[in-house]
Structure formats: structure tokens, C-alpha cells
Structure 1
């Protein structure tokens, strides 16, 4: 990394005071469009140096939230506080310097096709009125940071999607922002390119201490890069916490649905045979995390509650260096006294246990 970039980003003249831990604070934010509440009492903080992911389905309120953050949308009630300053009542002239503290990267890149890569990166500095030599020097530093120094004189049409997004990231960093907003920045990219862009953002966060707020509908993006996640649904934050904790024990139906594609699910051939009662085997879902997922849970279970059971599906993954697992067990249903003992043992080991149903015969 270019050390000059690090020094400039850390320059106290461009950084918030060291004792200001919250870069963003939202307090009971509400915004309606006609009879429809786009935001319905959102309260949230983004701490200095962290990556916060906000995830939700289309129409959940993500776009309105990000427009309120950069001052393009005014909330009906509530507060938007950026680096200690409430922006809801600021005029357009007062908002301009504050907007320079917020970098923005977009799903479709938003590059100017008639300008070279270096001129696209330098554009925020041109708007500020900085001398051309200073603008180009800064652009060169940032293109080096994102690995595109050799493309400085190229035009956007000559770039791949991933390269265009790297230019977008460099442009967003040009004015040395305190906050980087990412609005579905990887949704238009293929999986391999998405991974490289997320790795770049994580590296920038680590090297520069830059605060990042990600808006996405993809839980895999959250898993790859975020420190904390907030789940938004119908304009409300329905769940919030460290990523590994939310993955391990999702409380809301929308979170469980969003996690469905990346957490183990009961295979259809078993799920389609489930009935509420009776049957030859009881199917249990067991969610574990942390120490419970590190130990020999199943062998300990077999010792503590003797008798047959079978692992029919599942596994242990790692999120934020924490083990998170989902296991599906089939337990013979001919011993009514044993099942409560199995469940009690698992819950004593801090596992979350759910009886999914019963299957006739064996699975």
C-alpha cells in the first residue's frame, strides 16, 4: 500500500476527533411516501472503524435509509447525526462540506464514459476546486491502492465490471471521507469478482480504519465482510448484532429466510415427509455456536443419553472466526422418555433445539 495514502487519510485535519466513537447515529427515523411508511422508527449507530451491513429484501427501506444518510432525502421525523452533527435541518450549502465526508459506491458504477479513469477518480476534487496537479496525484495514489495504476489513461468502456467498481471505490475515497456508503455495490458482479471487491473493501477498512456501511440483499456479502448486521423489514430494524451471533441464532422470520440460502436446510426428501405427530423417527434441528460448536457435542450426547440417533444432515461453518453449526438428527420415536432427555442435554450445552416433526419409517 502507498504509505502516503495512509498518512493523508489519518491526517487530523481530515479526521473526526478521537473520542467520537459513533460516525453515524440515527434516532427514531421516520419517512412516509403517501400512506406507505418507508422508514418506521429506525434507530441505529455506526461506530468508527467498523463495517456495518444493513440487509433486507426489495422494498424494505434500504434505499430510503441511504438517501437520508447522504442528505438526499429528508426524514419526516427523527435525527440523522453524522460525526456529531444533526443534518436534518441543514441547508444545501451547509450540507455540501458534510457530503464530502461521505464516500459513495454504487451498483452500476456511475462512471463518466467521456472521462479517463484518472479523471473519474479525481472528479470529487475537481468539484472542490483543487488544482489539477493535486487531483492527479491523489488519483494516482488511489489507483495504486485499488490495483489499477496501469488503467489511469483508459476509458470506462475498456474496463471489466470489477475494474469499473474499483475505479468507483477509488473515486469514493478521493476526498478522504469519514464514512463509505456501499449501495448494492456487488449486485451486478459475478461471484469471483464480488469476492475480490469485498476483499478490497475489507483491506481498505483494515489499512485506513475507514468506517463502511453496506446496503445489500445478499447475506453472503454480510458474512464475508461485515462486523455487525442490522436486518431491516417494512421500514423497521427487526434484528441487530454481531454477524456470527445473528447467523447462529436468528430471531426474526425475515432473518431466517435470508439465511436460508447459506445455512444448512433439511433436505426436501425428508422435509416433504414430515408430519406433526407419530411416525418412526423424530427429526430435530440443532443450532450451535461458539464453545458448543467446538466440542464433541454428538459423542458427548451419545454418552450422556445412551441409545440410537443419526445425523442426517448439517455441518459446522465459521463466521467471524466463530464456529456456527446446524445439525439435523433423527431419533427413533419408540422411546417417549428419551427424547426430552436428549433435548435437555443439548439445551444445557447452549444449543437451540427445535422438533421439526416426525417421519414414518426411517430417513
Structure 2
């Protein structure tokens, strides 16, 4: 549709044609301190055209500072922040103004003006730019159609549900046809059903407009639902990064594993609570599999090779980014002291990641 053609470039000219691999955002060794405290401690990250990148971390990890540096509200102490090829650290405040129009923001608490109608809220960024009333209201109507609220143009925010308010916030963020959409905990104030609908909307917008989206969140389910890549931030550093399914399948850091704990099968608490670190009648193993290894008849093969060598305790298979990701917990008898090692070696030889969690009686 003509309504959703790409925006002009920062300089007001039509942007050049780019491939889907172009970098829209590039951060190089970005640092920001507040007194003696490093909020960002050497952040390097890229996001390409049409990509959804999730940035996840606990409260205080540096997510808010990162997003404020990305939209130019905070100045980094050092490093480079490139938006569509321009380093914003080298721009004056006046030069930053047109660049900020290339960055749409979606907030946790909507930030709608209660005294303005839905269409007026959406059109506000264009009014600030000096766009004529007819044109900006036309754009607002187009965006209301996109976010599924065509019948709410004349309503006021007080008459909307939380999910509807966030849809208005998304429409407003798109008003100036940005190249990047920054989503700052956009679903954390919403119930699970509404969260799923908002994430589906963001994915639909990403697909229709080819829009680059950076999701700032502390919820791994948000990342899992729509992101292409995930970067885990902790104490101002990116400690882990990769495609969503590979990080889910094999978290390499303790913080990533902790953030994933609610999204992956966990050993039932009543079993975990009684595990001994050194002895018992059964060794309890966690078994992680991904990709082709998760699709095979692994446990049937194990049972044939080592009869009566294990029992399944808990777990299952999921699909993330169309890739199978599995986690199981198995109990291996210790009557033969070598049996746990035999089972572990068998599974590892077939690309499983295996860890002995403890011993049960």
C-alpha cells in the first residue's frame, strides 16, 4: 500500500535501496557512566533492516540507559552509535532532531494524552513536524487501520483498554515512518492474552513494513515469540548473543539460564529439593537437545543400546523459530557405578548437552 512506503532519509532525501542485510543500527564499544557506576560498559551490537532484535536483562542491567542512548536522549561517554550509517555521537542537538524522527518509541505505560482523541494522539508527532492537518489525520486513519482500531479514531484514551492504548502507542510511533521501532517493555503492563496480541501485531508490522525492531524487555517469552536474535545484557555488558533458538537450546551464561528458567522445562521442585550432591540410588541428568538431534528417536536408541539404563522424569519438546528444542530429565540407576557415565557419553555422542544435577533415592 502506498500509505506505508518507507520514510525519507535523515537528510530529507529518499533512502537508497538496500539489501535485507543492511545494518540499520550499529553500536561499537558504547560506554556510559553515572558517577563511579558504569551503566553501559562496552556495548557492541548490530540490528539489520527488517530484523527483530531482543535485548533482555534484569532490572538495573543497563537496558534503559541503552535505549536512551539509542534515541539520543543520553549521550554516551565514548563509543559509536550509528543509525542508518550516521554516528549520532558526532551530531549536534540540532542535527539530532531529524534523526529522532527515524526512531519510533513504544512505551510501557502508553504515554497517551488524555485530552486528545486517538487520532489526535497518533497525529501529534506529525503536528510537531509541521505537517498539515489533513495529511496528518489521513496518516492517523491509515495507521488505525493497520493496528486494528479503525473505529476508535474519535475515542479518548480513557475509553480504551490497556491493549487498545498500546495499539494507539504503536500507531503513534509509526506516524513519521521511522526506520527503527524501539519497544521499551511495551507488554509488561499487559495481561498474557493482550501481550500475545500486541506481539502478533508487532510481528505483522515488521513483516508488512520491513521495519527494524529493538525489543527491550525482561521477559524471555516476549523474545521467544517474535525476535530473530537476542542479546543478554548484564551489568552494562552484553554477555551472550545469538539466534533465539540457539540461546534457548544452549544458554552459555548463568544469567541467560536464569532468565530462561520460566520458559524451559525445569526439574520438579519436589525432586530438586531432595537431591544429594554425591550419592543416591539414581543419578538425575538434564539432557538438552536442539535441531536434528531433538527430532530423532534418541531415547529409543539409548534403551536399545543400554537396556533398563534410565527412566524419563520430566521434560518435553518445543519449537522456536521453526527449530525443535528439547529438554528432558532422566534418572539413571547407580547400581553400576559406571552406568551414569555410559548414558551421558551415549547422549553426548549424539549432540546432547548433559549435566548431572545430583542424586536421588
TM-score (ref. length: structure 1)? 0.96
Q: Is the 8 A contact 1:61 1:234 kept in 2?
A: yes
For 1:120, the equivalent position in structure 2 comes to: 121
Question: Which deviates more, 331-340 or 93-102?
Answer: 331-340
For the residue of structure 2 that corresponds to 1:97, the secondary structure is helix
Q: Does 1:274 align with 2:258?
A: no
1:234-313 pair list within 5 angstroms:
234-313=235-314
Map Cα deviations across residues 116-135 of structure 1 (whole Å, 9 max, x no partner): 11111111111111111110
Shift of 1:10: 7.2
* Paired residues of 2:7 and 2:176 also in contact (CA < 8 A): no
What is the number of equivalent residue pairs in this alignment?
Answer: 357
Secondary structure of the residue aligned to 2:301 is helix
The whole-number CA distance in structure 2 between the counterparts of 1:231 and 1:42 is 11
**Are 2:60 and 1:63 equivalent residues in the alignment?**
no
Deviation, 1:339, is: 2.2
Query: Is the aligned partner of 1:105 residue 2:106?
Result: yes
Matched, 1:25 2:23: no
Residue-by-residue CA offset, 1:262-290 (whole Å, 9 max, x unaligned): 11111111111111222111100000011
Instruction: Tell whether the 8 Å contact from 2:333 to 2:339 is kept in structure 1 after alignment.
Output: no
SS in 2 for 1:313: strand
Aligned Cα root-mean-square deviation (Å): 1.3
In 2, are the aligned partners of 1:16 and 1:178 still within 8 Å (CA)? no
Secondary structure of 2:39 counterpart: strand
Instruction: Describe how 1:77-96 pairs up with structure 2 within 5 A.
Output: 77-96=78-97
Q: Give runs of aligned pairs for residues 193-212 of structure 1, distance below 5 A.
A: 193-212=194-213
Please give the per-residue CA displacement for 1:281-324, whole angstroms capped at 9, x wherever unaligned.
11000000111111111101111223331001111111111111
Following TM superposition, by how much is the alpha carbon of 1:11 offset from its aligned partner in structure 2, in angstroms?
Answer: 7.4
Quote the Cα distance in structure 2 between the aligned partners of 1:91 and 1:10: 22
Range with bigger deviation, 14-23 or 219-228: 14-23
CA distance in 2, matches of 1:215, 1:229: 10
Aligned to 1:333: 334
Measure how far apart 1:358 and its partner are. Answer: 0.7
Does the Cα contact within 8 Å between 1:14 and 1:176 map onto a contact in 2? Answer: no
Residue segments in structure 2 that go unaligned for 5+ positions in a row: none
The answer to which of 18-27 and 84-93 deviates more is: 18-27
Q: Is structure 2 residue 76 aligned with structure 1 residue 75?
A: yes
- State the Cα deviation string for residues 321-354 of structure 1 (Å, max 9, x = none): 1111110000110112222221111011110000
- Tell me how far apart the structure 2 counterparts of residues 240 and 70 of structure 1 sit (CA, whole Å): 22
Query: For the Cα contact (< 8 Å) 2:289–2:326, is it kept in 1?
Result: yes
The 3-state SS of whatever aligns with 1:114 is coil
Distance 1:336 1:273 in 2: 20
Decide whether the 8 Å contact of 1:16 with 1:83 is kept in 2.
no
Contact 1:10 1:208 in 2 (8 A): no
Q: Which residue matches 2:136?
A: 135
Q: 1:193 to 1:125 in 2, by over 3 A?
A: same
Q: Distance in 1 between matches of 2:249 and 2:187?
A: 25
User: Within 5 A, what are the aligned runs for 1:43-62?
Assistant: 43-62=44-63
SS at match of 2:65: helix
Comparing 112-121 and 339-348, the one that deviates more: 339-348
